């Protein structure tokens, strides 16, 4: 029996050290060296203060900002430690009520806007943390942001156009806009 236990325990210790210590250290070291920005959370710093991450959505509710895609994380929206969707289908009354409420909020913030409301402004993503909105969702909000900030819609459109990200490798996904980065740039536009 001793002849079986000793090699098994030795193999367990060696594999635990390799897979539980050496491999994670090597991967973390390689990531920190090759991709330092991403390995440290893709943090966005403004005036020496970390204001967020380009990978995690944030709640923007003031009309002067472009609004993010809704979040279904609990117990609060955009909770990065509880990434999840609502698991509510289109026939669920709670889902229908939530979408109607979001449409009403968009209409109340911009009553003169008669464009169709983009779906990503009224439905949460699967993770509940999506930092991007579609170009259509950003354009839907453009006039409201420009009017409230007392700047030309053309100037806001130019800022928006600089923030349109192409699909991955030109074919995967759709064009999108990072809301935090866009709002920070619009803040810079109006602070001049």
Query: Which pLDDT belongs to residue 192?
Result: 54
Residue pLDDT, tens place only, 63-119 = 999 999 998 887 888 888 888 777 778 888 988 998 999 999 999 999 999 999 999
Residue pLDDT, tens place only, 120-162 = 999 988 888 889 999 999 999 999 999 999 999 999 999 999 9
Residue pLDDT, tens place only, 153-165 = 999 999 999 999 9
Residue 169 near residue 94, CB atoms below 8 Å: no
Alpha carbons within 13 A on the beta-carbon side of 128:
18
For the chain, domain boundaries: 1-40, 48-190
Structure tokens at 15: 């594999």
Query: Which pLDDT belongs to residue 136?
Result: 96
- Looking at the DSSP bridge assignments, the partners of residue 98 are none
Instruction: Determine whether 113 is exposed, middle or buried from the number of CB atoms within 10 Å of its CB (0-12, 13-18, 19+).
Output: middle
Of 37 and 164, the structure prediction assigns the larger pLDDT to: 164
């Amino acid at each position: 029996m001793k002849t079986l236990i000793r090699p098994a325990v030795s193999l367990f210790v060696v594999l635990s050290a390799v897979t539980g210590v050496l491999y994670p250290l090597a991967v973390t070291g390689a990531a920190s060296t090759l991709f330092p920005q991403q390995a440290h959370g893709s943090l966005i710093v403004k005036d020496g203060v970390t204001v967020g991450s380009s990978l995690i959505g944030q709640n923007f509710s003031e009309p002067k900002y472009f609004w993010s895609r809704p979040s279904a994380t609990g117990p609060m929206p955009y909770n990065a430690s509880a990434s999840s969707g609502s698991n509510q289908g289109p026939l669920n009354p709670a889902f229908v009520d939530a979408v109607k409420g979001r449409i009403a909020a968009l209409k109340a913030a911009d009553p003169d806007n008669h464009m169709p409301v983009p779906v990503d402004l009224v439905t949460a993503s699967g993770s509940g943390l999506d930092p991007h909105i579609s170009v259509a969702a950003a354009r839907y909000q453009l006039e409201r942001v420009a009017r409230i900030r007392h700047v030309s819609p053309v100037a806001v459109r130019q800022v928006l156009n600089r923030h349109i990200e192409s699909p991955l490798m030109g074919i995967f996904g759709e064009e999108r806009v990072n809301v935090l980065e866009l709002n920070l740039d619009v803040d810079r536009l109006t602070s001049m």
